[in-house]
Amino acid sequence: MLTLYPSNRLEILSQLLQAVLSYRRSGTLDADVILVESQGMQHWLNMELAQHQGVAMNLEFPMPSRFIWDTARIVLGDSVPRQSLFRREVMVWKLEQLLADEATIAAPQCAPLLQYWQDSDSSQGQLKRYQLAAKVADLFEQYLIYRSDWLQQWQQGTVADDADEQWQAYLWQALLADAPEHPAALQQRAIAEIESNFEAYAARLPKQISLFAINAMAPQSLQFFQVLAQHIDVHLFHLNPCVDFWGELQSDKSQAKAIRQQQYQQWLDAGQSNPLLANLGQQGKDLFNGLQQLGVQEIAAFNDATRDVDNTPENDSLLACVQRDILNLSDARERPRAQAETDDSIVFHSCHSALREIQALHDQLLHLFNADPALVPSDVLVMCPRIEDYAPYVDAVFRKPWEHDEVGQAPRLPCSIADRTLLDSEPMVNALLNILQLPDSRFEVNQILEYLRVPSLQRRFGLIDSELETIEYWLQQACIHWGLNQQHQQQIAGASYQLGTYSWQWGLTRLLQGFASGQDLMVDDVQWLPIVDGQQGVLLGRLMQILEQLQWLGKQLQQPRSAEQWRHFIEQSLTELFDEQEDEQYVIDHIHQVLAEFVGACEQSDYQGDIELSVFQHYLSHHFSQPDTGNHFMTGQVTFCSMVPMRSIPFKVIAILGLNDGVFPRQSNPLSFDLMARHGRRQGDRSRRGDDRYLFLEALISARQHLILSYQGRDSKDNNERQPSLVLAELMDYLTYGYGWQFERDVKQQPLHPFSARLYQPAAHQTGSFEAGWMRLAQHIEPKQRQLVIDTERQPAEPVTATDLIQCLIHPLRYLARQRLQLYLDIEQRPLSDSEPFAVDALMRFDATQRLLQAQLAEQSVSAVKQALRGSGQLPNTPLIDRELDQWSDRACHLAAAITDIGMAPLAQYSVRLGDIEISADLHWQQQQQGIICYHPGSDSAGQLVKLWIHHLLASSVATQPLRSVGLYLDSKTDQVICHQIPAAIAPEQAAQLLHQLLEARAQVLSQPLPLFCRLAQGIWQSQPLQPLDDKLADGSVSKAWRDCVESKPFAPLPGLDQDPYFQWFYQHEHHYPVPSREVLALMETIYQPMYQALLGGQGASL
C-alpha cells in the first residue's frame, strides 16, 4: 500500500516517520529503509529520531536511484551488474572510445562531431573528444531519467530526420552493443517481474520502505514505487507547503501569457491565489500532481504555526503570516494590513560587497542571540548561491577575531563551512593540479614560490615560513623571472630567443658562484651575487632540490599512461612531494578515492588506450571542483553552505546571502544539441532555475523564527544601485501590497565600511555593530574628532640631521606620519615579476646614471660599470640597451665634468648646535672652500633646491668666510647641466637664525599636519620671492599653485598630491582640498621666501 503523509512541517513528518517505524513488519534485526535525497537530510533525520527515541540505529538511507537499482538486481538476478554501466563516469570513457573509432568517423551521421576535434593534434584531439564525451554522457544520463521513451525508439531504429538526433541515436545504439539493457529498460523489466512474480522475491525485499521529504521525482521512478506499493508498504512523507489543492496554480508569467491569449476570465473563475506559491513552486508542483494521480491513502498533518489549539492567533509575526498565506493558499493583498514596526522576523540587508554581507550578518546574529537566550549556534543556517564566494570572508569575520583575541573580548560565533570544494579549500589539492601543468609551465618565479608555500611540501623539504622571505629576496636580487634554462625558454618563446638570462639556471648560477667565492665579480658577462652566507647554503641547496624535483616531474608528465599507471605515478609523486599530517589525512584519502574511481571507471568501460595528461588533468579538475556535500554540515555550529536542492531542513534562523539579479536563481544554458531543451518541457523535468526557485520557497517555509535575506544593493566602487534577485523582488512586492512593507524603511541599507559612525549610534540598537576595533576607528573619524591630536611634549630622539629637515619640507605629512604616528602608507613590497623587463623606467635610468656618475668621479672604468649593469639582470637585455647606456654615460659625463671644473673635496661631516638640538650633515666642499657643492643626476626639483639651501645654511653657520654654494643638476630633456648658485653670502648668525626657523617649523609639523610642501612653495615664491603674501593671495597665484600641486594632470612630470596616500589619509574628509590658511602660508613665507630670494641671483644657469 502506498500511504502519503503530506505536511508543511518537517518536524511533523519526522514524528510520523517515528510512529511508522515503531510498528515493525520486518524482523528484529532487519534494517529500516528510509530513502532520502541528500546526506544533509539523512544527518538531520538521524539526529531528530535519536532525540525523540534516545537512539537511532539499524537504519539504511539509500538514495532513490540506488534503491531502485538494488531492487532490480534482487528481482532480475546477477545479470544486472552491481554498478550500472550507464553511469556518467563509465559512459564518458565508452563514448570517448566510440568517438575515436574508425566506424564512427566513417559514419555519415557523425560528420558534425568530427568538426570539433579531428583537426587537432593527438593530445588536444583526445582532450576534445573526452570533453565532448562528458557532455554527451551528461545528456544521456538525463535522457535515461526523463526521456526513456526516446532511447527505446532509438534502440528499435526509429530516428527522426534531425541531424543532432541522428548522431546521438548512433552513439546510443553503439553503447547498447556492449550492454543491451540500459537502466530505464531494466527498471521496466523489474516492474514487470514484480507485478507477475513478486512472491519469488518477497523474502529478499524489505517489508516496508519510507521516502522522506523528496520534492522531485521522475515519472518512471514514481511508477516504480507505485508498483512496489502493491506488494509492500511504501510510506511517502511529502513536505507540502499548502494544505489546499495547488496543482493548477500558474505563475505570473503564465498568467500574462493567458491574458495575451484572451483567457483572463478563465483565470478569474479559477480563483488564482498566493503568488509566492504560484511563482516559486513549479518544481514541487510536478511531484504534487504526480502524487495526486496515484491511488494513495493520504494522512494529512498540516500545522498552522500562527494559531494555537482554539484557533486564535498565537504567532502573528510577519514570517508566520507569510507561511500561513502559503499554507492556506490565501493572498494577503486582498486584505492588506500593516506590519508591526518592531517585527524583525523577516529582515532585508542591502550591502556593497560580499564582505559587508558577512559582517552585517554577524552583527544581526549577535543581536538575535542577545534577544533570545534559548537560541544556540546550531539553530542557524546560512546559505548562498556559491559558498566559495563567501568562505574567505566567513573565516575572517567569524573565526579570526576570536582565534587571535588574547583578552577574550571578541564575541565568538562558532561556525562550519559545508559544500566547499577541495580545489578551493585545500592547498595540497590545488598544488597537485598545478603540478600537473608543469609540462606547459613557464616555471614563473611566483608559481614556484606558491609551491613553496604549501605546508605539506615545506615539511617534506624541511622549509619554514621565515625562510621563504630569504628565498624571495634571493630570487629578486638574482633577477629570476621564468624558464628553467635557455633551452626551456626557447621551447616556449621560440628558437629565436637566444638570451638565456632571467632563467633559474642563470640566476642560481649567480647565487652559487657568489656563495662559493664571496666576491662581487663579473665573469663571462655574469654578475656573481655574494648574498648567500654560511648556513644559508643549505637553504639554497633545498631550493635547488625542489626545483630539480619539479623539473623531473615536468618531463615525466609528458608521457601518456594507462589509468592504473597514472594512479601509481600520482600516488608516488604525492609521497615524494608532500609530508601529510594527521589533519590532512582526509585530503590524502579523498585524492586516493578519486584516483581509485578513475581506475574503476576505466576498467568498467574496458578502456584500453593510454590517456594523455590533458585528459587526466581535466578529469581530476572536474572531480576536485565538486562540492563535498557530506562534510561540515550541521556540526552543532552556525552552518554555512551552498544552496543545494533537497535541503528543506527547519532552523530557527535561516539567512540567505547573495540574492542578486543574475546570480540567483542560477542560470544553466542548455547545450546546442540538447534535444530536451529543443522539444519542450514535460511534467517532472527539472531545471536549475526551477530548483532554485523552489529552494527559496522551502527556505521561506522552513525558517521558524527569523529569515534574513541579503543582497548587494549598491556597487562598492560608484555606489550605483544594483537590483535584487527576481525571487527577492517578488517577496518584496508581496509584502508591500499585503503588509504595508516599505523598501526605504524596511531594507537595512548597510554603510560601505564597517567603521561607519552610523553603526554605533543609539538609533542603531538593533542594527549596530559589536566590533570594538571598528568602533575605535569610527570614533577617530567623527566630525567632532577629525582634528588630529598629538602629544606635543613627546619629541623624537635627537640629534637632527639635514636629511630630516629636507624630508620634512619635501613631504611634511609623510614625515609626521612616519616619525610620530609610525604610519607607513607607501611602503609596499614590490612583487616579483614573472616576465623579464622589456622597457626602462625612471628608477632604472636614475640608478644607472648614478652608478656611472660615481664611477667617473672616482676615475673608475665606465665600461666595467656598463658591463656590470648589463649582467645584473635589472635592465632589459635588448640591443637597444647599449645605446641607452651610452646616453646615460654621456649624461653622467657632462655632470662629472661640471663637478670637476668647480672642484669638489671628499665628503665630510659637519654639525652645529642650536640650543639643545644638534644638526649634522655630510657635505661636499668645493676645493677652495669657497662654498659647498650639491649635485644630483636628475632635475632641479623643489626638493633638491631645499637640500642645497639647508646644506648652505649649515655650512655658513660653521664657516669663517663668506660662502657661495653651487647646485648642479641635469635637464631631463636636453641633458644639459643646470647650475643653481647662492651668490649672496650669509653671515653665520643669520644662517643659525634661519636654521632655527626650520627647526621650529619641523616641531610644528611633528605636532599637527601642515601642508608646508616645497612643491607648493616653489609655485608661489620662485618667480617673485619679494612680492607680499597678501598680493599673491589677491592675484590668485596661491590658489593656482595649490591646484597645480594637488591636482593630477595628464603627462605631468609628477603626480598630484591627490594621488598621494598620506595626503589622502590626512585630507580624507575634505572633498575640495581647501587652500591652506593664512597662518600656514605665513609660516611658509618665513621658511621659503629667504631661500628663493637667495637663489634668485644665480637661478637655473645652463653650463
- CA-based end-to-end distance of the chain: 109
Cα separation values, 306 from 245, 310, 312, 891, Å: 21, 12, 8, 87
Q: Which residues constitute the domain of residue 68?
A: 2-80+208-302
Task: Kindly state whether residues 466 and 541 are assigned to the same domain.
Answer: yes
CA dihedral 166, 171, 173, 179 (to 10 degrees): -160
DSSP secondary structure code for residue 718 in this structure = T
- Report phi then psi at 1026, rounded to 5: -95, -5
Both 238 and 172 in one domain: the answer is no
Distances (CA, A) of 389 to 395, 640, 710, 810: 12, 12, 14, 44
Query: What grid cell was written down for 1090?
Result: 629667504
Residue 472's Cβ-count burial label (10 Å; 0-12, 13-18, 19+) is middle
140 within a domain of the structure (yes/no): yes
How many CB atoms neighbour CB 965 within 10 A?
Answer: 26
Does residue 216 sit in the same domain as residue 296?
yes
H or E stretch including 211? strand 208-212
CB–CB of 426/628 below 8 Å?
A: no
C-beta separation of 49 from 56 below 8 A = yes
Which phi-psi region, left, alpha or beta, contains residue 271 (left: φ > 0; alpha: ψ -120 to 50)? Answer: left
Cell 578519486, residue located? 594
φ/ψ of residue 711, rounded to 5: -150, 165
Instruction: For strands 208-212 and 233-239, give the pairing.
Output: parallel
**1047 found inside a domain:** no
Please, what's the b/e burial string for 743-761 (b: 16 or more CB within 10 A of its CB; e: otherwise)? eeebbbebbeebbbeebbe
Cα separation, 305 vs 313, in Å, equals 9
Residue 113 sits in a domain of what CATH number? 1.10.10.160
> Cis omega (within 30 of 0) on the bond before 627?
no
Instruction: Please check whether residue 929 lies inside any domain of the structure.
Output: no
Using alpha carbons, select from 422, 380, 384, 377 the residue that is nearest to residue 402. 377
Tell me, yes or no, whether 52 and 124 share the same domain. no
In terms of domains, do 512 and 545 share one? yes
* Best CA proximity match to 14, nearest among 60, 52, 63: 52
Is there a contact between 970 and 939 (Cβ–Cβ < 8 Å)?
A: yes
Residues contacting residue 1000 through CB under 8 Å, at least 6 positions apart: none
On the CB side of 771, how many CA atoms lie within 13 Å of its CA?
24
Strand partners, 639: 381, 416
**Cα gap 1042→1019, rounded to integer Å:** 8
Q: Give the domain CATH number at 268.
A: 3.40.50.10930
Instruction: Indicate the residue among 238, 269, 302 that finishes a domain.
Output: 302
Beta strands 32-35 and 208-212 are: parallel
Within this chain, do residues 106 and 74 fall inside the same structural domain, yes or no? no
**Domain holding 526: CATH number?**
1.10.486.10
Cβ within 8 Å of residue 960, ≥6 positions away: none
Same domain, 463 and 543: yes
699 occurs within a structural domain = no
Percent of residues in the chain assigned helix, strand, coil, to nearest 5: 55, 10, 35
Which of 538, 122, 522, 1084 lies closest to 530, judged by CA?
522
Residues 53 and 163 in one domain: no
Q: What is residue 932's DSSP assignment?
A: B
SS3 918: strand
Count of C-beta atoms within a 10 Å radius of residue 105? 13
CA-to-CA dists, residue 753 to 353, 635, 782, angstroms: 10, 32, 14
Q: Are residues 52 and 99 in the same domain?
A: no
The span from the CA of 836 to the CA of 737, in Å, is 63
| pLDDT score at 296 | 82
**Per-run averaged pLDDT (10 residues), the chain, 1103 residues:** 91 92 76 90 90 87 92 88 89 93 90 79 83 94 92 90 91 88 89 90 90 90 92 92 79 57 52 82 85 85 65 73 92 85 89 94 93 93 93 88 56 85 89 93 93 93 92 93 90 78 92 88 82 92 95 94 95 91 87 94 91 94 84 80 80 95 87 89 86 92 95 90 94 92 89 85 70 77 51 61 94 92 78 85 87 89 86 83 88 91 86 87 81 90 94 88 88 86 86 93 92 93 89 91 88 83 81 85 93 76 52
The whole-angstrom separation of Cα 703 and Cα 640 is 15
Q: Where are the alpha helices (DSSP H) in 557-660?
A: 563-577, 585-604, 613-624
Contact 236, 213 (CB under 8 A): no
Give me the residues paired with residue 380 across strands.
Answer: 653
* 878 domain residue, yes or no: no
Helices 880-902 & 842-857 angle (0-180, nearest 10): 50
- The answer to whether position 714 is within a domain reads no
* Integer angstrom CA distances of residue 585 from 487, 590, 592: 39, 8, 10
Position 309 scores a pLDDT of: 41
**pLDDT of the residue at 310:** 46
DSSP sequence for 723-781: PBPHHHHHHHHHHHHHH---HHHHEEE--SSTT-GGGGSGGGTTT----HHHHHHHHHT
Task: In whole angstroms, give the CA distance from residue 590 to residue 581.
Answer: 14
At 377, phi and psi to the nearest 5?
-55, -35
Domain count, the chain: 3
Same-domain status, 35 and 104: no
Q: Are residues 71 and 95 in the same domain?
A: no
What is the b/e burial string over 330-360, where b = at least 16 CB atoms within 10 angstroms of the residue's CB? bbbbeeeeebeeebbbbbbbbbbbbbbbbbb
Given 302, 330, 353, the domain boundary residue is 302
Q: Where is the domain boundary, 302, 333, 354?
A: 302
Assess if residue 261 is contained within a domain: yes
What pLDDT is stored for residue 596 in this prediction?
95
DSSP letter for each residue of 461-506: HT--HHHHHHHHHHHHHTT--S-SSHHHHHHHH-TT----TTSHHH
Q: Which three cell numbers stand for residue 174?
A: 553503439
3-class DSSP assignment, residue 1055: coil
**Nine cell digits for residue 35:** 530513502
Per-residue confidence (pLDDT) for residue 964, from 0 to 100? 85
The CA distance from 315 to 332, in Å, is 16
Q: Do the Cβ atoms of 187 and 226 come closer than 8 Å?
A: no
Same domain, residue pair 94 and 143: yes
In a domain, residue 564? The reply is no
pLDDT value for 25:
66
Taking the C-alpha atoms of residue 877 and residue 54, their distance in angstroms, rounded to an integer, is 77
- Three-class DSSP category at 924: strand
What is the signed CA dihedral for 473, 477, 478, 479, rounded to 10 degrees? Answer: 100
Q: What is the DSSP letter of 628?
A: -
